[in-house]
Structure 1
Amino acid sequence: MAPAITLAAEAPKLSAANTGFMLICSALVLLMTPGLAFFYGGMVRVKSTLNMLMMSFISIGIVTILWVLYGFSMAFGTDSGSVVGWTSDWVGLSNIGLTELWDGYTIPIFVFMVFQLMFAIITPALISGALADRVKFTAWSLFVALWATVVYFPVAHWVWGAGGWAFELGVIDFAGGTAVHINAGAAALGVILVIGKRVGFKKDPMRPHSLPLVMLGAGLLWFGWFGFNAGSWLGNDDGVGALMFVNTQIATAAAMLAWLIYEKIRHGAFTTLGAASGAVAGLVAITPSGGAVSPVGAIAVGAIAGLLCAMAVGLKYKLGYDDSLDVVGVHLVGGVAGSLLIGFFASGKGQSEVQGLFYGGGLDQFWKQCAGVFAVLAYSLVASAVLAFLIDKTIGMRVSEDEEISGIDQAEHAETAYDFSGAGGGAARTAASAPVADTASKKVDA
């Protein structure tokens, strides 16, 4: 029998399996933003719950429209100077065929576009946790629009766009350690340095009002993160996506345990807030590294990140910056740790043959990771601070002190998260239980 003739480079064909897989992953990533809203919403005081939910949900609306109009083109269009992309045919998602494939892959451009849209949505939403209790909703909405345009779209091109300088340098970021987590964490630090501390910071109790809500949000984030990470390989043909899926679970578990052990040694208790925060720290750290490290390496990445993030969240009290919900301590520190640890733990048997120091590869990849990490950190920090400063000097970033004390939910949204007035269930019972209800309300508001 004559040998079969194969072409040197057959053009990819649309894969129904990969297309369906990526659409499911896109939906999972979108679910992460409501999950984040619950995670943050449970961590604030009761009078700020709705505002935290809305700060995440408004990102879905604003970023979706900007991504369609020009964001996708800026992030993934034809490179210009290794800094930003632009493809005029993609403006408004015009002139894209239904079955036109993303270059080199077996999924349509529309599928790649919508998957990346979900990343663009959650990244500014991550920033909101640092600003809890004190930012005008209109100012936040304007900040999201400007920040996505000036910071996220270009940085996404640096890291993932063909021709982007970090992409061409060989910086490894599987699913967003630099473009998402360091970017958001540095932005959070830049903004809070401009807008200042909450009223009563380090004086008044600011405990989470609903730890069950925090745990629910963390669980949704953990679930959605499998789409976030495994889907970033844009298919399911060679096992790398499966490796990332496995490593995501492993690192998250290791980070949660490391955080809880640190917490028990340092503070004497295993808290639910610590478990939720540790899990998120592990998810953050494995995001850039999970395709490059082995499962044992994932344990190391998760454990190291869990420990470092647990230590970092207390720095705000020592250094005096008010990062309300520890965005800097978890996302910035976790993103830096996960990105830099690639330089040590890359096995050469995952997404590429690149090996880290512990696998005989020297420090070459570590220095590349440093370049990507600190460039994104510096740019996002400065650009975000400038945007916050300009907004503050024009329309003002903060609500008034009286509105902050009385509750940002009522001031900005004319609503409250919980209605205690009907707790009695009848005229006589309501009257009889009114003092109890009032007392409960005051305790929750505290």
Structure 2
Amino acid sequence: MGSHPIAPDRPKILIATFGSLGDVNPFIGLAHALRSQGVDPIIATSEEYRDVVEGEGLDFKPVRPDLGEISSRLNMHKGEIATKMSQSKRFLFDQIIFPHLRDAYYDVLELTKDVDGVVTHCLAFGAKAAAEQRGLPVFNVFLSPMLLFSAYNPPLGTPAPFISARSPVAVGYNRLLLGVAEEAMTLLASPLRRFRKELGLPGLRGFELLVGAPRAAATIGMFSSLLMPPISKQIRSEIVVGHSFHDGSKTSEKPESSELPSDLLDFLNSGPEPIVFTLGSIVTIDRIDYFRDCAAAARALNRRAVLLVDQVDVDQLRQEMSSDVSVHGYIPHSPLFPRCSAVVHHGGMGSTAQALRAGKPQLVTPFCNDQFDIAHRLSRLGVARAMKADGVSVNQLTQNIELLLSSPGYSKCAKAVAEEIALEDGPTSAARLISDRLRGSCRK
């Protein structure tokens, strides 16, 4: 393994991430915060996000896997991939992450020749292995509380029957179940274990194999600690710093509605606050019928609606909808959500963070991955209702939205949580931590 030199006055750090826009935007926010701390960031991710990153005035380097390459290899378009992830718990690992371990490793190994540290998305296994091989300090960043699991903070909404840790008995039960799950994780991640062995890296098992970073300089949760059960906050060694609210809006830290397109702004100014329906940047693909049902539910409640749909569906839905529905492709959430009455979304962390900060009640319809866990956590906070996305109907949407808006408890909790969330600045807190530890480790 290599060793890193003494850091210059402005250390250079590589930020490696992959996934959807919700896996990129938080790290863009972190990159800006690092720059303000005197650290020069480089974002390394899929070629698909080059324009997004460079449009922020940040250095970009491509790292495989590229989403287009994955679509070609699997002979699936992105909507089919999203659907497959919702149907199979292993698909993300077996078909997307593990087949590209070697590609990501060699890409990042090349990019880390002259950097002083590496920030990694917690599932960027190839990047973490490359940083280990170089002997660089690694800052392992989690965007979701689900992967910081323990007996005190079990993953909820999964096939495994974990329970909320509210008593010693519950904690003991979860600990036993986690022991079984660790063995399953070791088998699931056997391609990663073999790859690390080929590289001569230390052997790992279970959860450490999947989400850990051996000898990490820091493990950081870039989400609100409010999503963690109170009992877990007393025993976790990770540092939970708060959400990153960056979403591409020029004013995402202090959102202003003037950032919105003029036609949407006119719509918002022309009547009562609408319900916003969104499924993020990936899940939204091939979901036109879902959005039709959402519009029908809003109409049944005599409510106005904003639909944030896949760009290819915008024209079709605009032709179908009445004047009480405004249809758009991706719109930054930070200036929009404060102007709505409620947010109906899939449970992605980006949408979750913006809805929490806006102080709006939420209906969560999770489709895949950690979205089910997020739905449970938001329900536990008292700010949201949750329902399964599979087989969702107009009647179910209507009933749940009506309960959400007619029960004052949801709005009251949402406003209380928003007051606490407003005090958080995840990227700045994380950047200070990374800067201090990076400079400290390089002085040793």
TM-score of the two chains, using structure 2 as the length reference:
0.29
TM-score of the two chains, using structure 1 as the length reference:
0.28
**Bigger fraction of residues in strand:** 2
Which of the pair has the greater relative contact order for Cα pairs under 8 Å at 6+ separation? 1
**Bigger fraction of residues in helix:** 1
